[in-house]
A and B are shown apart, each in its own frame.
Chain A
Amino acid sequence: MEIVVALGIAVLTASGVWLVLRPRTFQVIVGLSLLSYAVNLFIFVMGWVRGGVAPIVATMGATDPSRFADPLPQALVLTAIVIAFATTALLLVVLLAARGLTGTDHVDGQEPER
């Protein structure tokens, strides 16, 4: 399972970095989204306990606290998702504005001279 998750993070990160380095704004924004997915998954994995149970203290019968999954990374991921989502939305607006004002989707606002 760890291998699969690690591979997932790796593929997402690699694709994200590759796309961010493209000169087109749309590819950059998709790349940033992929990167943020990879980062969120990464944070999530940081608190991973294989087979961990939900960290809820049952009323009947004592649950072994050592089997609890760490809840904090999940809270962190939640915050990170919200923030990344909001800032990406903001970037999208700026991207559209840049596209409208410059008439090109090149990240520098003009096509390179050849």
Chain B
Amino acid sequence: MSGLVQHLVVIPVVLPLLAGAFLLVIDEPRHVLKASISLASTLLLLLAALALAVRADAAVTHVYSLGGWLAPAGIVLVADRLAAVMVLLTAVLGLTALLFSLARWHRVGPHFHALVQFLFSGLGGAFLTGDLFNLFVFFELLLAASYGLALHGGGILRVRAGLHYIVVNLAASLLFLVGASLLYGMAGTLNMADLAVRLPQIPVHDRPLLEVGAAVLGVAFLVKAGMWPLGFWLPATYSASSAPAAALFCILSKVGIYAVLRVSYVVFGGLPVADLIAYGGMITLAFGMVGMLGSQDLGRIASFSLLSSAGTLLAAVGVGGVATIAPALLYLLTSTLGTAALFLLVELIDRSRTPGANVLAVTADAFGLQDEEEEPEEPVGVLIPASMAMLGLAFSFTSLLIAGLPPLAGFVAKFSLMAAILHTDAIAARAWVLLGLVLLSGLASVIALARAGVRAFWGGSGVVPRVRLIEIVPVGALIAACLALTVFAGPAMAYLHNAADALHPADAYIREVLRAP
């Protein structure tokens, strides 16, 4: 057993990778077998993530040297609290999205389960890796899986949006490589802890080149995070993709923010261009807000709310600095869970407007589904009494969550975020602007979501959407997770404060990585 615990850190990377590889060789019609393998792997991932989060709280960091090669030369996986929290979030989100997809989405295109598992593997690796080049490799792994998932279900809309998504992300990946290689050329290492040690020794005349490298790297991260003006691809792609894929994508934009935080605080000991991030974040927030108000379609509203939450995070970290990291992380958790729930709900609510499974109709001819004959008229399943009421309840909870109104965790997160910004030593003018923007974006979310909700629930076609239990339970689980975050806000904040403390003076991280046994 102790052997397994010792290898706990590598499980979030290897387990989904193996499961995904295994799923590839199973024939497409064997849906039940594929779903069970995928579900089992995700459950194990969740357990591993829980164990990792608990263990990470006990010690500072767990360093896992792959192949037994020690840190500066070898490749390491590092699990500290921040990474553990992100892996846990991935697992929770993944399990709910996967459950949701079991209703029908996983049969609408080839290799859905394998792609999801590869996405988990890439996400786990990106959160846990200790060096820049492997961050690139895992980014590519999760992006490649996300390209497939963005196109899942097919159709012109998805292919058109996916084309832009892939091109933008390929270009960003090339920038990532340029940045990483510039840092390597200047510092002679790619290990983040080692980089932090070597940076002060770099001669002054080489510094500008190093800063260019860091800036290029930052641009690559911010494209993933969707910061204005690098995030125009996001709303089109996310609103076009299928519901479970869009829910999974909620964490993809957080990977960029995680990478910005991790690389900045470990390598550079602070946010190097805090002003730029702060203003960029504020513009993103405003852009997302205006986008939410200007959208008719619920899917686009959800995408823009994702953008504005990414903007809030970036701006908060840029303005407030170290003190705001912990509340920002709480906001990251709640906004990810909330937006994912909204993305799942969008599809269920849309059914009341367009009776029948119009999505299936579009995709069936593209993929030549075999089980078309088995379910000719009723692909959606049994009718739950008062499903409309359930949907309405879930929708209002999700709206509260996204807008940041009490009693759900969105409020706690936004409140602590604003408190942290107000507690910074000298409140600059931009802090007030940010506070105003955060409040306004809450109002904008309420207006946009209420308008969409009224149209969907009261002004609809009168068709009661057919919702299967397996579709509403994941939404409920996401909301319940946020409810749990409200009830246990104290312990959660304490954990995240510890995570932020370990992130900012990253001395312990650097020491542990470089002296790994």
Contact = CB atoms under 8 A, between A and B. Distances in A.
A and B part of one assembly: yes
A94 B496 CA distance: 41
A102 B162 CA distance: 13
Contacts of A28: 167
B185 A83 contact: no
Interface of A: 20, 25, 28, 32, 35-36, 39, 42-43, 46-47, 72-73, 76, 79-80, 83-84, 86-88, 90-91, 94-95, 97-98, 101-102, 107-109
B164 interface: yes
B184 interface: yes
Contacts of B386: none
Contacts of A107: 163-164, 167
A39 B136 CA distance: 14
B57 interface: no
Contacts of B174: 32, 35-36, 39, 84
Interface in B148-199: 151, 155-156, 159-160, 162-164, 166-167, 170-171, 173-174, 177-178, 180-182, 184-185, 190
A32 B166 CA distance: 11
B130 to A, nearest CB: 16
A36 B190 CA distance: 20
Interface of B: 133, 136-137, 140, 143-144, 147, 151, 155-156, 159-160, 162-164, 166-167, 170-171, 173-174, 177-178, 180-182, 184-185, 190
Contact of B163 (A36, A88, A94): A94
B240 to A, nearest CB: 12
Contacts of B164: 107
B163 A87 contact: no
Given A32-B171, A76-B133, A79-B133, A94 B140 contact: no
Contacts of A73: 181, 184
B160 A72 contact: no
Contacts of A39: 174, 177-178, 181
B133 A35 contact: no
Contacts of A83: 136-137, 140, 173
A42 B140 CA distance: 19
- Give the most central of B151, B170, B180: most A CB within 10 Å: B170
B177 A87 contact: no
A42 B181 contact: yes
A91 B160 contact: no
B170 A101 contact: no
Contacts of A72: 184, 190
Nearest to A101: B156
A94 B162 contact: yes
Given A87-B170, A94-B166, A107-B164, A79 B137 contact: yes
Chain A, interface SS category: helix
A97 B159 contact: yes
A29 to B, nearest CB: 8
Given A43-B177, A76-B180, A91-B170, 13 more contacts: A20-B167, A32-B174, A42-B181, A46-B181, A83-B140, A84-B174, A87-B166, A87-B173, A90-B166, A94-B147, A94-B166, A95-B163, A98-B160
Contacts of A108: 160
Contact of B171 (A20, A47, A94, A101): A20
Contact of B184 (A36, A46, A91): A46
Given A35-B171, A79-B133, A87 B185 contact: no
- Give the most central of B136, B151, B160, B181: most A CB within 10 Å: B181
Contacts of A102: 156, 159-160
Contacts of B163: 25, 91, 94-95, 98, 107, 109
A72 B322 CA distance: 34
Contacts of B177: 39, 42-43, 80
A24 to B, nearest CB: 12
B129 to A, nearest CB: 14
Contacts of B170: 32, 84, 87-88, 91
Nearest to B151: A94
Contact of A46 (B136, B140, B151, B185): B185
B202 to A, nearest CB: 15
Contacts of B147: 87, 90, 94
A36 B136 CA distance: 14
A20 B172 CA distance: 12
4 cross-chain pairs, A with B, having the tightest CB-CB distances, nearest first: A46-B185, A109-B160, A43-B181, A101-B156
A57 B156 CA distance: 57
B144 A90 contact: yes
A91 B167 contact: yes
29 contacts: A20-B167, A25-B163, A28-B167, A32-B167, A32-B170, A32-B174, A35-B174, A36-B174, A39-B174, A42-B177, A43-B181, A43-B184, A46-B181, A47-B185, A73-B184, A83-B136, A87-B140, A87-B144, A87-B166, A87-B173, A91-B163, A91-B170, A94-B147, A94-B151, A98-B163, A107-B163, A107-B167, A109-B159, A109-B160
Contacts of A84: 170, 173-174
B144 A86 contact: yes
B149 to A, nearest CB: 12
A109 B155 CA distance: 12
A42 B174 CA distance: 11
B363 to A, nearest CB: 12
Nearest to A80: B177
